[in-house]
Amino acid sequence: MSSAPHFTVKQILNATDIPFPAVVKGWVRTFRQNQFIALNDGTTVQPLQIVVDSSAIDDQTLKNITPGAALEAHGTIVESPGKGQRVEMQAQHIIVHGPADPNSYPLQPKKHSLEFLRSIAHLRFKTNTFGAVFRLRHGLAIAIHEFFHSKDFYYLHSPIITASDCEGAGEMFRVTTLDPKNPPLKEDGSVDWSKDFFGREAHLTVSGQLEAELAAMGLTRVYTFGPTFRAEKSHTTRHLAEFWMVEPEVAFARLDDIMDLAEELLKHLIQYSLQHYPDELAFLQKRLEDEEKQLPKEKRSPMPLIEKLQFVLSEPFQRISYTEAFDILKASKPNRKKKFKYPLTDWGIDFQTEHERYLVEKHFKKPVIIYNYPAEIKAFYMYLNDDGKTVRGMDVLFPGIGEIIGGSERETRIEVLKKRMTQIGIAPDEMQWYLDIRRWGGCPHAGFGLGFDRLVQFVTGMQNIRDAIPFPRYPGYVAY
């Protein structure tokens, strides 16, 4: 048997110095005419064609070359005389590591629905669609680290188990080791959390922001990039119970600075995807077009995927205040014709997805950043403007996705902060550390959170966020 080096399919398809001996390992996509294997190892959309001489292969091995089988092929990479591929392998030797019984293997060489693939999420990595999605997801993660690293931001590992509720929304998963059938009780009958593992109540974090703020007060620029957890009962195509967030936090920065940073980051990530993953994007674009063929025209994506990504790069994002956005929405045709499910009534309401989509997709036809939101609908840590009604928060809204980033300039005045904490039921004493960084060497600072899975969803054109993360978790569902 040859002792040639093991190359990935990607390396072989990009090779220029042909012919050369090689070993390749992967999974069979198709096997035609007892002669042509299409092999994929997850490194590219394109499979490698392996030409076998079936008379030289024993019967059992030949029988085992079926879709899904794991095999190793030894041979020579040559220019392909056939159409459809530049190079191919002339195999001298085949070893089937793991056959896949065609009578039971669920992934046949035909189109499967995304819902079906979600129900067999342990197998969907083998498909072209999810290969492309997860390669892009990886590329975006790398690009995020490169982007921040090049700007002297430091990657901060914020804790996953936390003793505080950053967003103050009470949507947290409890972390406990107490016996659910027999928890220690206090005299009043309530659970005595002081007897729990940490000696107090603990939860999974909803955001790394508060800890990032602490770190930024010494390191100037930091970012977190990790899993966050929200026990919100949202059954939408844009919500997960476990999702990944990227949270830069910048000392001496104000609202305008982080709006600039958010726009620069998003454009960089889209540019990076177009540059490094053209084959994946072309494949995903075609997939989306095929899928949308069955839909009525108004339900289809207004632009092909790649054009949409280029379009987002081409123009500055629209920046408007909440009040301006409210006025536009109030005067809009769907509002006047009572087409919105949630009509625009009084200043101060929170915008719904239908409003955000109207602004982005119909009115401005480009990404929109809304800033200076009513204090009432935003978290306690946002800087209160002099009008006493609005805070220096901002949301970046994307077509098809809605909110992809939420951020703010942070409140630095201890008295104002204490008042807002008390209003929403956080005892300031519980978060003395958060006040301390304002007490000693406090300074203006600002940051935001980018929903990483929503970003992946946008770039890959996947309609459902559950198809943008390897193992989705949502209300009523956890597996693996």
When the beta carbons of 405 and 437 are compared against Mg ion, the nearer one is: 405
Residues of the shown chain interacting with Mg ion in the complex, contacts defined by CB under 5 A: 406
Closest alpha carbon to 136 in 470, 451, 398: 470
Binding characters for ligand 4AD, 97-116, by CB under 6 A (x = yes): --------------------
Rounded to an integer, what distance in angstroms lies between the CA atom of residue 362 and that of residue 377? Answer: 25
Q: Is 449 in the site for ligand 4AD (CB under 6 A)?
A: yes
Candidates 30-38, 79-87, 197-205, 397-405; binding stretch for ligand 4AD (CB under 6 A): 397-405
User: Around Cβ 275, how many Cβ atoms within 10 Å?
Assistant: 10
Binding mask 181-220 for ligand 4AD (x = CB under 6 A): --------------------------x-x-----------
Asked if 230 interacts with ligand 4AD (CB under 6 A), we say yes
DSSP 350-365: PPPHHHHHIIIIIISS
Shortest distance, CB of residue 257 to Mg ion, whole angstroms? Answer: 19
Strands (E), 200-308: 203-204, 221-229, 242-251
As a whole number of angstroms, the distance between CA 401 and CA 360 comes to 10
CB of 341: closest distance to Mg ion in angstroms?
A: 20
Distance of CA 456 to the CA centre of its chain: 4
Q: In whole angstroms, how close is the CB of 393 to ligand 4AD at the nearest point?
A: 8
* Residue matched to tokens 């530049």: 86
Distance, in Å, from the CA atom of 454 to the CA atom of 399, rounded to the nearest integer, reads: 11
Tell me which residue has tokens 């550390």. 433
Q: Of ligand 4AD, Mg ion, none, which one sits near residue 167, judging by CB under 5 to 8 A according to partner kind?
A: ligand 4AD
Among 437, 453, 459, 472, binds ligand 4AD (CB under 6 A): 453
Q: Give percent helix, percent strand, percent coil of the chain, each to the nearest 5.
A: 35, 25, 40
According to the binding rule CB under 6 A, does residue 262 interact with ligand 4AD?
Answer: no
Residue 131 engages ligand 4AD in binding (rule: CB under 6 A)? no
Q: Which residue sits closest to Mg ion, CB atoms considered?
A: 406
* Per CB under 6 A, 281 contacts ligand 4AD: no
Nearest approach, Cβ of residue 471 and ligand 4AD (Å): 14
Radius of gyration for the alpha carbons in the chain, expressed in angstroms and rounded: 27
Q: What are the residues whose beta carbons fall under 8 Å from the beta carbon of 180, sequence distance 6 or more?
A: none
Task: Name the one range near ligand 4AD by CB under 6 A: 33-41, 85-93, 232-240, 304-312.
Answer: 232-240
Shortest Cβ contact with ligand 4AD: which residue? 451
* Conformation bin of residue 66: beta by default, left when phi > 0, alpha when psi is -120 to 50: beta
Decide: is 398 part of the binding site for ligand 4AD (CB under 6 A): no
- In whole angstroms, give the CA distance from residue 43 to residue 38: 14
Residue 273 binds what, of Mg ion, ligand 4AD, none (CB under 5 to 8 Å, by partner type)? none
Tell me the C-alpha distance between 472 and 235, whole Å: 12
Please enumerate, as own/partner, the contacts of 13-20 that have beta carbons within 8 Å and a separation of 24 or more.
13/44, 13/46, 13/48, 13/86, 13/87, 15/77, 15/87, 18/77, 18/78, 18/79, 18/87, 19/76, 19/77, 19/78, 19/79, 20/76, 20/77
Q: Are 459 and 273 in contact (CB under 8 A)?
A: yes
Q: Note whether 454 binds ligand 4AD by CB under 6 A.
A: yes
Identify which of residues 28 and 255 has a Cβ nearer to ligand 4AD in the complex: 255
> Does residue 239 bind ligand 4AD (CB under 6 A)?
yes
Q: Is 75 in the site for ligand 4AD (CB under 6 A)?
A: no
Give the residue with the Cβ less far from Mg ion, 114 or 397: 397
**245 part of the interface to ligand 4AD, by CB under 6 A:** yes
Complex with Mg ion: residue 37 or 206, whichever CB lies closer: 206
**Shortest separation between residue 262's beta carbon and ligand 4AD, angstroms:** 10
Nearer to ligand 4AD, 247 or 411 (CB): 247
Q: Which amino acid is at 188?
A: D
Q: Applying CB under 6 A, which of residues 131, 139, 447, 472 lies at the interface with ligand 4AD?
A: 447
Beta strands 368-374 and 390-398 are: antiparallel
The count of residues interacting with ligand 4AD (CB under 6 A) is: 23
Relative to beta strand 390-398, strand 402-409 is antiparallel
> Which residues would be at the binding site for ligand 4AD (CB under 6 A)?
166-167, 207, 209, 230, 232, 239-240, 243, 245, 247, 403-408, 447-449, 451, 453-454
